[in-house]
Structures are given as structure tokens and as C-alpha cells.
């Protein structure tokens, strides 16, 4: 396990971390949005469960502190979750952004950051849950799919929905072309939702998410 490459900063309620397992295109969209000022918060840490994740390279290039937490050295999901919490609290993280983090979060982790974890899913939930949502929608033959931004609860792809946008599936679409359309929407609307989260504008009432003005 690699330790957090940062010094302890003054606590701010707008510090957030991105958790990513792979290429990190949504991480890059987030980095770019912070630089433009579209996200009024500080991306203070990038965390990955894979040593070779390109997301860590993106963090390094952007001079953002990063940490690899090796899941193979922990006995179970709960112990891994406790280490995640420790690293995040050390970096004074208040909000969590999931960007292709391919690991189920522990119940304790979700409770610790209750209504402060946000995720992007490449389908219109509650349809096509799981890690193959784009391929599943294409194979099922639906005419419309899309992107869902939601808060994270203790169930997979289930938490209160922040925003959604539809994407038409055309007859000539392939998995590659549909993925490209889905990702373009993700990169545009996810930073908007992240900004609402870190600026405290999301109010949860049951399963409804209200944007405070």
C-alpha cells in the first residue's frame, strides 16, 4: 500500500476525493471542471484499488495527491473500508466521487459518508444495473438509454437520483459508438452534479433529491 502523498491541510467542507479503478476519463472531466471553476470545491485526493490504474497517472500529471490501497492485503470488505475511511479522513475529505471504482463499498463506509457519496451510472436507473449496463441496454434492444447520477446507499446502483439524461440508441449503434455517446454525456453532467454536492445544494427527502437555490 502506498501512503497519501500530501501534507495535512486546513479542514474545509468542500474537500472531495475521487475513487477510480481504471482509465479515469470521468476523473479527467472532474479535474478539468475544477480548473475551469465549474466545481467550487477542492479535489484533494485520488484513490485507486489498482496500482496500474491510469487514473493515478492523471492525478500525478495534475499534481493531485493520490493513494493506491491494495485490496489483497485486507481480510474483507469491511477492513478495506476502514482503511479507506482512515486515508480519507487523514486528507480531510468531506465528499466522495466515484468514477469507475469497481469495488463494492462497505456498509460502514457508506454510513460514515451518508449522503456524501455520488456515483455515475451509464443507464437510466432503475433499468440496467451492474457493470455491463451499456452492453445490456444494447443487447436488450431498448431505444433509449442514458446516464444517471445518484447518491450512494447500501445497495448497488440504488441510491437517490440526482439527475438523469437520456441517450437515443440508433439502429446503427455498436457498443463502441454507444459507449462514446454515453461517456460524452457523463463528462458533461457529472461535474455539474459534483458541484451541487460539494456546495451543499443537494437535499434528500426519502428517495427524492431537491436542489436548493
**Domain assignments of the chain as residue spans, ordered by start:** 1-113, 119-213
Q: Among candidates 72, 102, 67, 104, which has minimal Cα distance to 86? A: 67
CATH superfamily, domain 119-213, is Formyl transferase, N-terminal domain (3.40.50.170)
Domains 1-113 and 119-213 share a fold: yes
Fold category of 1-113 in CATH: Rossmann fold (3.40.50)
Which cell numbers in the block locate residue 89? 479522513
Residue labelled with grid coordinates 480519507? 88
Q: What is the pLDDT of residues 77-119, one digit of tens each?
A: 999 999 999 999 999 999 999 999 999 999 999 999 999 999 9
The Cβ of residue 123 has, within 10 Å, a number of other Cβ atoms equal to 23
Residue 153's pLDDT is what? Answer: 96
Known catalytic residues? 121
Residue 6's pLDDT is what? Answer: 42
- Residue 208's DSSP bridge partners are 205
**pTM, two decimal places:** 0.91
CB 133 within 8 A of CB 121: yes
DSSP conformation letters of the chain:
-PPP-S------TTEEEEE-SS--HHHHHHHHHHHHTSS-SEEEEEEES-TT-HHHHHHHHTT--EEE--GGGSSSHHHHHHHHHHHHHHTT--EEEESS--SPPPHHHHHHTTT-EEEEESS-TTSS-STTHHHHHHHHT-SEEEEEEEE--SSTT-SPEEEEEEEEPPTT--HHHHHHHHHHHHHHHHHHHHHHHHTT-EEEETTEEEE--
CB 24 within 8 A of CB 54: yes
State which residues of the chain have pLDDT below 70.
1-13
Residue 12's pLDDT is what? Answer: 55
Amino acid at each position: 500500500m502506498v501512503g497519501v502523498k500530501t501534507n495535512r491541510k486546513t479542514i474545509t467542507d468542500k474537500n472531495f476525493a475521487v475513487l477510480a479503478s481504471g482509465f479515469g476519463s470521468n476523473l479527467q472531466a472532474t479535474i478539468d471542471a475544477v480548473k475551469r471553476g465549474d466545481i467550487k470545491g477542492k479535489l484533494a485526493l485520488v484513490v485507486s484499488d489498482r496500482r496500474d490504474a491510469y487514473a493515478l497517472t492523471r492525478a500525478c500529471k495534475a499534481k493531485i495527491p493520490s493513494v493506491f490501497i491494495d485490496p489483497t492485503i485486507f481480510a474483507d470488505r469491511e477492513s478495506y473500508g476502514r482503511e479507506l475511511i482512515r486515508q480519507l479522513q487523514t486528507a480531510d475529505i468531506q465528499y466522495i466521487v466515484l468514477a469507475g471504482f469497481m469495488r463494492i463499498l462497505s456498509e460502514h463506509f457508506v454510513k460514515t459518508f451518508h449522503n456524501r457519496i455520488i456515483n455515475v451510472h451509464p443507464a437510466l436507473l432503475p433499468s440496467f444495473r451492474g457493470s455491463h449496463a451499456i452492453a445490456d441496454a444494447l443487447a436488450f434492444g431498448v431505444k433509449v438509454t442514458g446516464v444517471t447520477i445518484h447518491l450512494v446507499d447500501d445497495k448497488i446502483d440504488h441510491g437517490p437520483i440526482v439527475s438523469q439524461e437520456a441517450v437515443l440508441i440508433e439502429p446503427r449503434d455498436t457498443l463502441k459508438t454507444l459507449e462514446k455517446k454515453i461517456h460524452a454525456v457523463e463528462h458533461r453532467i457529472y461535474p455539474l452534479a459534483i458541484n451541487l454536492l460539494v456546495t451543499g445544494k443537494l437535499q434528500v427527502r426519502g428517495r427524492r433529491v431537491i436542489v436548493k437555490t
